[in-house]
Structure 1
Amino acid sequence: MRRFRSIRSRLFLLFMGCMTGILILMSMLYYNRTLSIIHAKVGDIAEKNISQTAGLFNLMLQGYNSLSKSLNSNYELTRLLQEKPDDPAAEIINERTITNIIGAAYYSRDDVLGIHILSPDGKVYSYERQFAGVIDNNYAQTEWYKKLEASSGNMVWLGLYPGSPINTLQAEKQAFVFGRKLYDLDNHKEIGILMIETNPSPMMEALSNVSISPGTQVYILDEAKKIIASSERKGAKRPELDRLPQPSPEDNIFVDGTSKELIVAANTTMAGWTIYGLTPKRDIQAEVYRTTKVLVVVVLALIILSTVLASIVSRNIASPLKLLIREMKKVEMGNFSGSVNVDSFDEINSLVSSFNRMVHRMDELIETIKISTVSEKNAQLQALQAQVNPHFLYNTLDMIYWMLDEQENERLSRVVLSLSQMFRYSSNWEEAARTTLGRELEQIGHYLTIIETRLGGRLQTNIDANAAWLDAPLPKMTIQPIIENAVKYGLEPKEGMGVLNVRTEKEGNKLLIKIEDNGMGMDAGTLERVKETMHAKHQRPPDADSPGRRRGIGLRNVHDRLVMMFGGPYGLSIESKPLQGTTVTVAIPIPAEGEDEDEHIGGG
């Protein structure tokens, strides 16, 4: 089950499910539509076939009717059948003449097997191909004779017989039999009965026209639902003929496909017969079965094709994601040097590009944090180191010595107190190197007390800070290293009075703390080196360069801590001119009203 939770497996199953569902739905719709079309076409064909068959029967029966009428209207035949000569020779001549007239009618059609005229006095006049004159003397008791005898001159269609009903020697050759009574058209006197035997092949061929499948059974029924002819095979189950529907006289044709078989029926106007065609539904479905087989093959081929397409699509989508996941695992293990290169869909390409940028940015941030952490530690150590600088302590202790020697106790106590406050402030790093501008200026006051004493009145300091900004947060030991640089490199080498000003200004959303001196200043080259060192990405060893470079390193530590606390827009900037002095500006954000000093820590 775990393998089916992957995006490739789910995409494959989703694509396959959709395609298979669509194929099955379309196949069912196509199958139903095809089935209805086939049924409709089969019904139309069956209706046309049976309509044509009914027409053929009408034409065929009309021809047989015309043949019988031609004999009934033959004046010579009518006269000879009524004439009763006493002379045997004349009687023989009459019989031969009647036979010749019948023979002429016999040869007028190819499908006539025999023509028989039965006179009221019991004589039979026949014309047949073989065995003429072998007559069944008991014909008067047969059913067919009784039907003809009971008719009133209309054509009587007797139907198919297994052999000649009157010639006993032709009992094995199937014949279609019909007949009528003969009348003298002048006085409407009955003069005999005409019976004609024809070849049933045209009728059976016409019946085969109704068949639309090998299993179709065709029946011709008379008005009493008795079979006149049929294409029924031996052993076939005969339907219930009484229940077969009867076409209406108006439509003349009937089609019913709702039962287990397709039933078509048509009336013949000449004989009053009804032709039925019964086709089993399974025969009709045979075409549907063939169509279904083709459809199944096509659907299977499409499913195979869909499987291939689903595999290709899912692999194309999942492969880039697998590469991305593999690279993410490397990142999780701490390897940020890799990248993913894919050429896929725009969305995936965008995702991969975002991931590569994120990893690259994370690598840069981690490197920046490492450098910042090292810089902060170095700044703290160097700030502490600056506060306990051996040279500074030596001078201070030497000064204390001479003061003791001269017994200037008041000045000594002030210097010692300031030194004590300085050590206490600079050694307390429990607050993560944070302080306020007010505390920093207080510390500067102690430092300047010592410096002014040491310089023997050659230093004048002015501190002008707006009371509104005394609670502004900034890193501890920010201003003191700047003033130390100003004293050491600018004011101590200067002859005459040195002036040091510390003041605050507001510029937009920045608070500027400016430390100005009128000391020796720096030429353009030294100033450029100091700025380069202060903004360099990698710190160089402090003893590896000139005094200007060392001065830049101290300012670099202050600048880095300001940037780390407040962000890139803040930090130090320096302006200096030779023999005119130097101005160092500390830029920090102006705290909002009511803002706690900790809120700016780590900002950017």
Structure 2
Amino acid sequence: MGRGFRSIRSRLFLLFLCCMCSMVILVSLLYYNLTLSIIHTKIKDIAEKNISQTAGLFNLLLEGYNSVTKSLNSNFELARLLQESISNPAVAVMNERMITNIIGAAYYSRNEIEGIHIITNSGKVYSYEKRFAGVIDINYTHTEWYRKLQASSGNMVWLGLYSKSPLNTMQEDTVFVFGRRLYDLTDHKPIGILIIETDPAPIMGALSNASISPNSRVYITGNMNKVIATTDMQKDKGPDFSLLLKPTTEEPIIVEYYTDQLVVAAKTAMADWTIYGLTPMQDISAEIVQTRQYLVIVVLFVVILSTILASIISRNIASPLKLLIREMKKMERGNFNGSVNVKSFEEINMLVSSFNRMVHRMDELIERIKLSSVSEKNAQLHALQSQVNPHFLYNTLDMIYWMLDEKGNERLSHVVLSLSQMFRYSSNWEEASLTTLRQELEQIRHYLTIIENRLLDRVHTNIQVEEHFLDVILPKMTIQPIIENAVKYGLEPLDRPGTLHVYTQFEKGKLYIRIEDNGEGMDDNKLELVNRSLRDFTSMNIGSKEQSLRRSIGLQNVDSRIMLMFGEDYGITVESKQGIGTTVTVAIPAPIAISVKGDE
């Protein structure tokens, strides 16, 4: 698998494109199947309606033809004339003319009748037709149609389409033939047969009504599936009707889809006929093919559009990520000054913003570490510069202490001992720059011993710190500079005794060490200047910071070391009122175990 395929842009492109194409293909298939079902249902309804109308037209047409035959069969005058045996030629001619007139009246009752023939039992033929009257086939008695009429019991016999007249040898036009056996209604005995020939146009017109496409073929079948009439010009290539379903009384109309054609069938009420309509599936599928072509065009268009959209979306998502990766590689090489500026999706914008904040934060942390390191080194340098052969100084101070102790000057010996301990603590930076609150307070007690002796008990100290807070870690030389400032600027100028109160408070995971005095305090302007100088330390340049450290390890130094070590949420705050006193609060993090004890 190539590297390009593993990229987020390539995968987003393929994912979006596959999803879009899958949805389009699925929707297209569903639409195609639904359309196919609708078209089939519509065609089925049309075919069923057409075949039903065709059967109805046949019934009406055959009902009319049946009425003509019934009118002749029920004519008593015609029955009498057909049975009379007259020897007088003149009377015979008159009777024949009367029979012809009766037949002629029936002939003109319907326009499509081509000829009416009556054959009596004696073999006498009476005809009324438009052309070639009286030319009768002498062998008619041997024909099938004659046998059918003779075998009937007075019911209508539908003989079907004939390519020419079955009785008149000179009539060669296609005709539709039907008839019945005539009976004397008085004694119900047969007197002859009636055969009527009609123009097949109404029959063929009714058949064409069952067609639903130009290539549809319609058939009328009778007994033994014999074709009575059809619109198919190639009669020899007709279907095998024995394989097709036949309508029944319960289901008079049948519509079935076969492999290559749609077949619809219906029964006629007047005759025992079945009407079949056969339509090729390719004619039915013409609209389906058109729909399929339309869907193919739509699918291709949507695929092209999806490809363009997938490319645009994948590029919009991948481009910001590429910029982000490029900046991350720069950061790996140690360059923390870069930033990514993009306008993309909200989530990517949030990711880029978080990355920029992280880089900025890391740059700040590195700068703080540098400042912290410089601060500690300078503090160590300052302490070293203030040392003059520390071991010699320690030994000398110890010697002075023992000499004073031998002479009984206990007060001065304590001062010398405290001074010696302070020198040892402040000058020992080799082991670590961190200490505990316990050690810081011990150093403060040494310092206050010297101050109380120097000021002749004008300063009273009260230290209240819980035992479980004494092991909290904090930067070395954190509290002493604050005590020095409180004594020097707050309590020493007083003309009255002063009090210095050191205590701790725990709140929300933070330990607050408060150094409170009742000295002169500060006005609001000076207080604001002090607090602003504490927080402006990080914006100071290195040169000015080094100059400040060379002068003293003051409040700014303490605040900056706490902030660089623990973060911006920790450090020093100062509160003061002119003439009332000053409170300096040191905020440092408390370990979890100590936090639990503090909550208790």
Q: Classify the TM-score, shorter chain.
A: 0.7 to 0.9
- Residue 301 of structure 2: aligned partner: 301
- Residue 403 of structure 2: aligned partner: none
Structure 1 CA distance for aligned equivalents of residues 342 and 98 of structure 2: 111
Q: Does 1:177 align with 2:171?
A: no
Measured at CA, do residues 283 and 59 of structure 1 come closer, stay the same or move farther in structure 2, by a change above 3 Å?
same
> What is the TM-score when the length of structure 2 is the normalising length?
0.75
Structure 2 CA distance for aligned equivalents of residues 542 and 18 of structure 1: 62
Measured at CA, do residues 566 and 462 of structure 1 come closer, stay the same or move farther in structure 2, by a change above 3 Å?
farther
Q: Does 1:275 align with 2:275?
A: yes
Measured at CA, do residues 124 and 387 of structure 1 come closer, stay the same or move farther in structure 2, by a change above 3 Å?
same
How far residue 99 of structure 1 moved from its aligned partner, in angstroms, is 3.5
The question of whether the paired residues in 1 share the 8 Å contact of 2:490 and 2:518 is answered with: no
Q: Which SS does the other structure have where 1:158 is aligned?
A: strand
Q: Which SS does the other structure have where 1:364 is aligned?
A: helix
Structure 2 CA distance for aligned equivalents of residues 522 and 274 of structure 1: 122
- Residue 108 of structure 1: aligned partner: 109
Between 28-37 and 533-542, the greater mean CA deviation after superposition:
533-542
Q: Which SS does the other structure have where 1:362 is aligned?
A: helix
Q: Which SS does the other structure have where 1:102 is aligned?
A: helix
Structure 1 CA distance for aligned equivalents of residues 317 and 592 of structure 2: 54
Q: Does 1:157 align with 2:158?
A: yes
The question of whether the paired residues in 2 share the 8 Å contact of 1:533 and 1:552 is answered with: no
1:371-382 map, 5 Å: 371-382=371-382
Structure 2 CA distance for aligned equivalents of residues 379 and 71 of structure 1: 144
Residues 5-32 of structure 1, C-alpha deviations (whole Å, 9 max, x = no match) = 3333333333333333333333333333
Measured at CA, do residues 317 and 489 of structure 1 come closer, stay the same or move farther in structure 2, by a change above 3 Å?
closer
The question of whether the paired residues in 2 share the 8 Å contact of 1:219 and 1:229 is answered with: yes
Q: Which SS does the other structure have where 2:386 is aligned?
A: helix
How far residue 575 of structure 1 moved from its aligned partner, in angstroms, is 8.5
1:86 counterpart letter in structure 2: S
1:286-297 map, 5 Å: 286-297=286-297
Residues 572-602 of structure 1, C-alpha deviations (whole Å, 9 max, x = no match) = 9699999xxx99969475977997xxxxxxx
How far residue 244 of structure 1 moved from its aligned partner, in angstroms, is 3.9
How far residue 552 of structure 1 moved from its aligned partner, in angstroms, is 5.4
Structure 1 CA distance for aligned equivalents of residues 323 and 517 of structure 2: 56
Residues 88-115 of structure 1, C-alpha deviations (whole Å, 9 max, x = no match) = 4544444444444433433332212222
How far residue 429 of structure 1 moved from its aligned partner, in angstroms, is 3.1
1:242 counterpart letter in structure 2: S
Structure 2 CA distance for aligned equivalents of residues 122 and 525 of structure 1: 151
- Residue 130 of structure 2: aligned partner: 129
Measured at CA, do residues 553 and 530 of structure 1 come closer, stay the same or move farther in structure 2, by a change above 3 Å?
farther
1:175-254 map, 5 Å: 175-234=175-234, 237-251=237-251, 253-254=252-253
How far residue 214 of structure 1 moved from its aligned partner, in angstroms, is 3.9
Residues 57-92 of structure 1, C-alpha deviations (whole Å, 9 max, x = no match) = 122112222222333344554444334443445444
- Residue 387 of structure 1: aligned partner: 387
Residues 402-438 of structure 1, C-alpha deviations (whole Å, 9 max, x = no match) = xxxxxx9x9xx99999999888766643322234567
- Residue 32 of structure 1: aligned partner: 33
Structure 2 CA distance for aligned equivalents of residues 532 and 73 of structure 1: 134
Aligned-residue CA RMSD in angstroms?
A: 5.1
Measured at CA, do residues 506 and 121 of structure 1 come closer, stay the same or move farther in structure 2, by a change above 3 Å?
closer
Structure 2 CA distance for aligned equivalents of residues 273 and 543 of structure 1: 121
How far residue 489 of structure 1 moved from its aligned partner, in angstroms, is 11
Residues 136-187 of structure 1, C-alpha deviations (whole Å, 9 max, x = no match) = 211111111122222233222111111111222223x211111223334444
1:250-399 map, 5 Å: 250-251=250-251, 253-257=252-256, 259-260=258-259, 261-388=261-388
The question of whether the paired residues in 2 share the 8 Å contact of 1:533 and 1:553 is answered with: no
- Residue 402 of structure 2: aligned partner: none
Residues 496-551 of structure 1, C-alpha deviations (whole Å, 9 max, x = no match) = xxx99998544564445689999xx9999999988877765226559989xxx975
Structure 2 CA distance for aligned equivalents of residues 470 and 80 of structure 1: 150
2:256 counterpart letter in structure 1: G
- Residue 430 of structure 1: aligned partner: 430
Structure 1 CA distance for aligned equivalents of residues 577 and 470 of structure 2: 27
Structure 2 CA distance for aligned equivalents of residues 477 and 432 of structure 1: 12
1:268 counterpart letter in structure 2: T
- Residue 5 of structure 1: aligned partner: 6
Structure 2 CA distance for aligned equivalents of residues 426 and 475 of structure 1: 12
- Residue 65 of structure 1: aligned partner: 66
The question of whether the paired residues in 2 share the 8 Å contact of 1:218 and 1:276 is answered with: yes
The question of whether the paired residues in 2 share the 8 Å contact of 1:529 and 1:552 is answered with: no
Q: Does 1:23 align with 2:53?
A: no
How far residue 206 of structure 1 moved from its aligned partner, in angstroms, is 0.9
Q: Which SS does the other structure have where 1:294 is aligned?
A: helix
Measured at CA, do residues 186 and 125 of structure 1 come closer, stay the same or move farther in structure 2, by a change above 3 Å?
same
Measured at CA, do residues 66 and 553 of structure 1 come closer, stay the same or move farther in structure 2, by a change above 3 Å?
same
Structure 1 CA distance for aligned equivalents of residues 522 and 87 of structure 2: 178
Q: Which SS does the other structure have where 2:133 is aligned?
A: coil
Q: Which SS does the other structure have where 1:56 is aligned?
A: helix
Measured at CA, do residues 387 and 274 of structure 1 come closer, stay the same or move farther in structure 2, by a change above 3 Å?
same
How far residue 355 of structure 1 moved from its aligned partner, in angstroms, is 3.0
Q: Which SS does the other structure have where 2:170 is aligned?
A: helix
Structure 1 CA distance for aligned equivalents of residues 145 and 240 of structure 2: 25
1:560-575 map, 5 Å: 560-565=560-565, 569-571=570-572
1:486-497 map, 5 Å: none
- Residue 404 of structure 2: aligned partner: none
1:26 counterpart letter in structure 2: V
1:441-480 map, 5 Å: 474-476=474-476
Between 130-139 and 483-492, the greater mean CA deviation after superposition:
483-492
How far residue 203 of structure 1 moved from its aligned partner, in angstroms, is 0.7
Q: Which SS does the other structure have where 1:351 is aligned?
A: helix
How far residue 476 of structure 1 moved from its aligned partner, in angstroms, is 4.5
Q: Which SS does the other structure have where 1:40 is aligned?
A: helix
Structure 2 CA distance for aligned equivalents of residues 295 and 285 of structure 1: 15
- Residue 52 of structure 1: aligned partner: 53
How far residue 353 of structure 1 moved from its aligned partner, in angstroms, is 3.0
Structure 2 CA distance for aligned equivalents of residues 53 and 448 of structure 1: 127
Measured at CA, do residues 335 and 235 of structure 1 come closer, stay the same or move farther in structure 2, by a change above 3 Å?
farther
Structure 1 CA distance for aligned equivalents of residues 299 and 523 of structure 2: 89
2:198 counterpart letter in structure 1: T
Q: Which SS does the other structure have where 2:271 is aligned?
A: coil
1:264 counterpart letter in structure 2: V
The question of whether the paired residues in 1 share the 8 Å contact of 2:117 and 2:127 is answered with: yes
Measured at CA, do residues 83 and 427 of structure 1 come closer, stay the same or move farther in structure 2, by a change above 3 Å?
same
Residues 317-361 of structure 1, C-alpha deviations (whole Å, 9 max, x = no match) = 444444433444444444444443444443333333333333333
1:365 counterpart letter in structure 2: L
Between 116-125 and 371-380, the greater mean CA deviation after superposition:
116-125
The question of whether the paired residues in 1 share the 8 Å contact of 2:383 and 2:427 is answered with: no
Q: Which SS does the other structure have where 1:170 is aligned?
A: coil
1:351 counterpart letter in structure 2: L
How far residue 371 of structure 1 moved from its aligned partner, in angstroms, is 2.2
Structure 1 CA distance for aligned equivalents of residues 179 and 573 of structure 2: 136
Residues 189-241 of structure 1, C-alpha deviations (whole Å, 9 max, x = no match) = 54332221111111111111122234433222224432222233417643333
Measured at CA, do residues 528 and 553 of structure 1 come closer, stay the same or move farther in structure 2, by a change above 3 Å?
farther
1:429 counterpart letter in structure 2: W
Aligned residues: 570
The question of whether the paired residues in 2 share the 8 Å contact of 1:155 and 1:178 is answered with: yes
1:14 counterpart letter in structure 2: L
Q: Which SS does the other structure have where 1:382 is aligned?
A: helix
> What is the TM-score when the length of structure 1 is the normalising length?
0.74
